[in-house]
Amino acid sequence: MDKIIISGGNRLKGSVKISGAKNSALPIMAATLLTRGSSVIKNIPNLKDVTTMSYLLVALGANIIISGDEITIKCDKIKRSFIHHDLVRKMRASVCLLGPLLARFGKVEISHPGGCVIGPRPIDLHLKGLEKLGAQIEMKHGYIIAKSEDGLRGNEIYLGGPLGSTVLGTANVMMAATLARGETIIEGAACEPEIADLAAFLNAMGAKIIGAGTHILRIEGVEELGGAEHTIIPDRIEAGTYLIAVAISGGDTLLKGARHEHLTAVIDRLEEAGVKIERAPDGLKVKRKNELKAVNVIALPYPGFPTDMQAQMMSLMSIAKGTSIVADMVYPDRFIHVGELLRMGANIVRQGPRATIIGVEKLGGAQVTASDLRASAALILAGLAADGETEVSRVYHLDRGYEKIEEKLSSLGAKIKRVTDKPSGKKKK
């Protein structure tokens, strides 16, 4: 099993390219199931989750050609609409195959999805939304079985929930509605940039969607969709992670491709903490020379501070002067990383959906264990600022959401390497 070892204390300098957004790429790849035509998707990130989605599509009968960061997908010979547990369990986003398969073929059987363990993330809003379009859905032996024998029909659907709008649920229902008869109005829709990116791809395929990027979507169903060419937006969570990497190391770096408008809440908090961030023609420049100041953060649905940046921000606040509070209203149980930061000398007290952090002068290197994708990144960031060596184990999570993170950080001057533990065993006598 791989682990990452970081020797802290180096400032990050230079430039780094931000990869395409994982949370755009996965539903857009799923959307190619809506047509028999060929689609070309550019700026695809090289991630395990993208590989898993490719395997899922190929298992269904899709033809896929990958060339660098470009992928061509043609789904004219789909042979089945059953998706086995073995692939689905690896990635929660596999559930976004449900809407396209149901819309095009009228039936789908898919295992309940997997992914990171960061608290309860039910898919009931996905299913209720599809039922409002006329689908008949049942759960049986761990599988979701959905049918629409008479086809899907447009309807008014509300997708808001107690923890905010559902992003994948919005994607699922939006994709299904493109081929439904009549108009669908989705209220309480997620307004993340990745939803707007998916809508742009669907419209390029011939869909009629207006309102993407707001909480109300209007979708006029069409008879069929065609192939399209599309370029994935930069990954705002990867960009935010590198903003904090530079801030925590006291560096000076250009993030190529990063978009200010997708990171407003993160940038506001970082600037309040004393980090200097400027727009550049090809991205964002970030610099931190002065002492970090403690700031409070509440993770909320977009355009609020992203829950996917909560753990990384906690690492930064661990060495900021003063006391800060980090709360998560999206996933209130997403605090497994707190225990590992404590091992590195952080002063953190968790109380329900929030944690109080009293900044310390220095963190210390330690052996820590990653629990999920963003916690993995947070522990690496803490290692960049720590005295001595930090060893992060169970880093397989990283490859699901960060493209070559150790190579990118190394190119900026970090002392970081990935090593593979060889299984120990005694020779037989």
Q: What is the mean pLDDT of the chain?
A: 94
Asked if the peptide bond before residue 303 counts as cis, ω within 30 degrees of 0, the response is yes
- The C-alpha R_g of the chain, in whole angstroms, comes to 22
93 close to 99: Cβ distance less than 8 angstroms: no
Residues 6+ apart with CB under 8 A from 124: none
Indicate if 75 belongs to the active site: no
Q: What amino acid is encoded at 353 in this protein?
A: P
What average pLDDT does this structure show over 123-152?
93
Q: How many CA atoms lie within 13 A of 249 on its CB side?
A: 29
Task: Tell me the per-residue pLDDT of 152-171, one tens digit each, with 9 for 90 and over.
Answer: 999 999 998 877 889 999 99
For residue 268, pLDDT beyond 60: yes
Residue 154, CA distances (Å) to 35, 104, 182 in order? 19, 15, 5
Percentage of the residues of the chain whose pLDDT score is greater than 70: 96
- Among residues 75, 96, 116, 191, the one annotated as catalytic is 116
Give the model's pLDDT for residue 85. 83
Residue 330 counted as an annotated binding residue: yes
Count of CB atoms within 10 A of residue 243's CB?
Answer: 25
For residue 87, pLDDT beyond 80: no
Give the model's pLDDT for residue 428. 44
What average pLDDT does this structure show over 355-369?
98
Residue 282 counted as an annotated binding residue: no
Would you mind telling me the total number of residues written for the chain in this entry?
429
What average pLDDT does this structure show over 324-342?
96
Give the model's pLDDT for residue 84. 82
Residue 125 counted as an annotated binding residue: yes
Assigned fold of 2-19+235-420: UDP-n-acetylglucosamine1-carboxyvinyl-transferase; Chain (3.65.10)
Residue 308 counted as an annotated binding residue: yes
Give the model's pLDDT for residue 426. 52
Highest mean pLDDT among 83-92, 396-405, 418-427: 396-405
For residue 380, pLDDT beyond 90: yes
Q: Sign of dihedral through CA atoms 173, 174, 180, 182? A: positive
Residue 208 counted as an annotated binding residue: no
Domain(s) of CATH 3.65.10.10: residues in the chain: 2-19+235-420, 22-231
Residue 123 counted as an annotated binding residue: yes
Instruction: Label residue 113 by pLDDT band (50, 70, 90).
Output: confident
Instruction: Label residue 374 by pLDDT band (50, 70, 90).
Output: very high
Question: Which pTM value belongs to this model?
Answer: 0.95
Q: What are phi and psi of 283, to 5 degrees?
A: 155, -140
Domain 22-231 matching CATH 3.65.10.10: the answer reads yes
Task: Tell me the per-residue pLDDT of 23-59, one tens digit each, with 9 for 90 and over.
Answer: 999 999 999 999 999 999 999 999 999 999 999 999 9
Give the model's pLDDT for residue 118. 46
With CA atoms as reference, report the closest residue to 28 among 157, 146, 203: 203
Give the model's pLDDT for residue 295. 99
Over the chain, what HEC string results?
Answer: CEEEEEECCCCCEEEEECCECHHHHHHHHHHHHHCCCEEEEECCCCCHHHHHHHHHHHHHCCEEEEECCEEEEECCCCCCCEECHHHHCCCHHHHHHHHHHHHHHCEEEEECCCCCCCCCCCCHHHHHHHHHCCCEEEEECCEEEEECCCCCECCEEECCCCCCCCHHHHHHHHHHHCCCECEEEEECCCCCHHHHHHHHHHHHCCCEEECECECEEEEECCCCCCCCEEECCECHHHHHHHHHHHHHHCCEEEEECCCHHHCHHHHHHHHHCCCEEEEECCEEEEECCCCCECCCEEECCCCCECHHHHHHHHHHHCCCECEEEEEECCCCCCCCHHHHHHHCCCEEEEECCEEEEECCCCEECCEEECCCHHHHHHHHHHHHHEECEEEEECHHHHHHCCCCHHHHHHHCCCEEEEEECCCCCCCCC
Give the model's pLDDT for residue 115. 47
